[in-house]
């Protein structure tokens, strides 16, 4: 089953995902991303590595740590009972963390909005004063 033997090197994967080469190597080191190697030890990736990296980015961007992601992935890749049970637990915890963080961000954003209104008012008042003084 020859599949499509078209494989890319790390530079291309980096270009196609927008993720730095350094990070790709780091992901591999954490066991989040795998590659085959050429005779000369250069990494080769299949096309689906692009999707894998995008998945990783989404999880990283949601604030999951590499370690947490490493706990999750086996359940995605090779589901088995024991693995999945812990993974589900981790996912629940992460979900709660995300909810909490969203709440914090919303609260801060509102506070920021209030501050911005205050600041804008201050500037407007100041401008009016200046105009009045000039007139």
Partner DNA sequence: GTAGAATCTGACATAGATGTCAGGTTCAAC
Partner DNA sequence: GTTGAACCTGACATCTATGTCAGATTCTAC
Give burial (CB, 10 Å; 0-12/13-18/19+) of 23.
middle
Among the listed ranges 4-12, 26-34, 39-47, 89-97, the one in contact with a copy of itself (CB under 8 A) is 89-97
CA 81 to chain centre: 27
Residue 51 found at the interface with a copy of itself (CB under 8 A): no
Judged by CB under 8 A, the residue of 63, 65, 67, 77 near a copy of itself is 63
Residue found by looking up tokens 């963080």 in the block? 101
User: Is 43 in contact with 11 (CB distance < 8 Å)?
Assistant: no
- Residues engaged in binding a copy of itself (CB under 8 A): 55, 58-59, 61-64, 72, 75-76, 79, 81, 84-85, 87-88, 91-92, 94-95, 98-99, 101-102, 104-109, 111-113, 115-116, 118-120, 122-123, 126
């Amino acid at each position: 089953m020859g599949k499509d033997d078209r494989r890319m090197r790390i530079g291309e994967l980096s270009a196609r995902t927008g993720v730095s080469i350094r990070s790709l190597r780091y992901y591999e080191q954490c066991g989040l991303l795998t590659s085959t190697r050429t005779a000369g030890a250069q990494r080769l990736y299949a096309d689906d590595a692009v999707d894998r990296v995008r998945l990783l980015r989404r999880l990283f961007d949601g604030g999951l740590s590499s370690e947490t992601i490493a706990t999750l992935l086996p359940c995605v890749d090779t589901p088995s009972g024991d693995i999945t049970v812990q993974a589900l637990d981790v996912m629940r915890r992460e979900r709660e963390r995300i909810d909490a963080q969203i709440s914090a961000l919303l609260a801060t954003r509102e506070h920021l909005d209030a501050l911005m209104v205050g600041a804008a008012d201050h500037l407007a008042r100041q401008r009016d004063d200046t105009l009045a003084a000039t007139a």
